[in-house]
Amino acid sequence: MALDSDRDHRPEADLFRSSSIDFESLVKLSNEALALVTLDGTPLYISPAAEKLFGWSADKLADRLSDLVYVGSLNADAELLHLILSGGGDPLAPLPCAELQFRSANGTLAWAEVTTRLLHDPAGAPYAFAVYFRSIAKRKELEWLLEAATQTDPLTGLYNRRAFEDALKREWAIALREKTHTGLIKVSLDRFDALSEHFGPSAAEDCLTKVANTLMETSRRPADIAARTASSEFSLLLPRTHELGVETISAYIHVAIQDLGIPNPDNSAGNGVMTASVGAACAVAEQAGIAESSEFLLAASENCVFKARQEGGNRVKSVMSSLTR
């Protein structure tokens, strides 16, 4: 106990009790950005770390606070923080505490973890918000790389089966709601096992990579999804694509794979080169309220591939469905 008493009376302890501590200098040394904003949105203080995080000088950042928060979708914390920084914050409302995106001086979006505190004057009346920003850009980049690794096929770089099925469910739900067309193309390489046995694993991998590149070049729109969904099977999801478009792309893929000229001596259907059996399905819900599962479209395209194979391979089969009550 004596030791504790002696420690409390050291000069350092008296210094920390002093009201003359330069807290602003301490804030300037911190990597955590800080913005003090009055209830009407007037900036009282912006720390150097905030200037570094967002790329603007303090005076220019003060003019941009009202448009700093990126509100890309329904996000209660983003909405609340936007109100605080634009002068519409309610001291009685919940204080935002979340991971959010913000606009920066170079035009990109910066990720930051945000914590907000309400400041009160000596009489207990609220007068300002203290908004703390901590950059999480590196963590978000690692999360993105990890997510990309779990969604892609390591050999071809296309989406894997799991990512494809997730995308199909998502796009199909949108199509049912908006009554838009959805196309799905299945590509199954003819006599692929024979190629592997004849030339070995290296030639098989080279074949898969070339076919994957062809599909990537075909799926040019941002919403298009090209995936490797089995060892020698590929899938192409074409949201908001009509029947004619699906049939045209199917025919192109069929010809493009054959034009690669990949040797496959045991493939009699392709005169000794690699070919594909292609199945294409296109569907549209003509009325609202249709509850058909995305498995319907998947099964339809697989059935078309099966028919193409039954007829000897190296051909395209397609089907169009209109869903009505």
From the first residue on, what is the mean pLDDT of each consecutive set of 10 residues in the chain (325 residues)?
A: 45 51 74 93 94 92 92 86 95 95 92 96 95 94 81 92 92 89 96 92 95 93 93 96 95 96 89 94 79 87 95 95 71
User: Are 34 and 88 contained in the same domain?
Assistant: yes
In a domain, 214, yes or no: yes
| Under 8 Å between Cβ of 273 and 262 | yes
Per-residue model confidence (pLDDT) at position 289:
64
Identify which of 150, 165, 144, 38 has the alpha carbon closest to the alpha carbon of residue 101: 144
103 three-class SS: strand
Identify which of 221, 227, 258, 261 has the alpha carbon closest to the alpha carbon of residue 155: 227
Structure tokens of 189?
Answer: 């390489």
The percent of the chain in helix, strand and coil, each rounded to the nearest 5, is 45, 25, 30
| Under 8 Å between Cβ of 316 and 257 | no
Identify which of 270, 285, 278 has the alpha carbon closest to the alpha carbon of residue 302: 278
| Under 8 Å between Cβ of 283 and 241 | no
Per-residue model confidence (pLDDT) at position 1:
37
Element (H, E) at 210: helix 201-218
User: Are 136 and 159 contained in the same domain?
Assistant: no
Residue 201's domain is classified under what CATH number? 3.30.70.270
In a domain, 45, yes or no: yes
In a domain, 223, yes or no: yes
Within 10 A of 199 (CB to CB), how many other CB atoms are there?
A: 16
DSSP code, position 45: E
| Under 8 Å between Cβ of 29 and 65 | no
| Under 8 Å between Cβ of 300 and 315 | no
The number of domains in the chain is: 2
In a domain, 147, yes or no: no
178 CB-near residues (< 8 Å, 6+ apart): none
pTM of the model: 0.60
- Out of 141, 163, 189, pick the residue that ends a domain: 141
In a domain, 146, yes or no: no
- Residue 98 identity: A
Identify which of 305, 190, 196 has the alpha carbon closest to the alpha carbon of residue 258: 190
| Under 8 Å between Cβ of 185 and 238 | yes
Give me the residue label for tokens 């002093």. 18
Question: Angle at Cα 115 formed by Cα 112 and Cα 23, nearest 5°?
Answer: 105
Q: What is the distance between the alpha carbons of residues 94 and 229, in angstroms, rounded to a whole number?
A: 46
User: Are 81 and 169 contained in the same domain?
Assistant: no
User: Are 298 and 216 contained in the same domain?
Assistant: yes
Residue 115's domain is classified under what CATH number? 3.30.450.20
Q: Which domain holds residue 69?
A: 2-141
| Under 8 Å between Cβ of 276 and 314 | yes
| Under 8 Å between Cβ of 228 and 212 | yes
Per-residue model confidence (pLDDT) at position 315:
96
User: Are 230 and 110 contained in the same domain?
Assistant: no
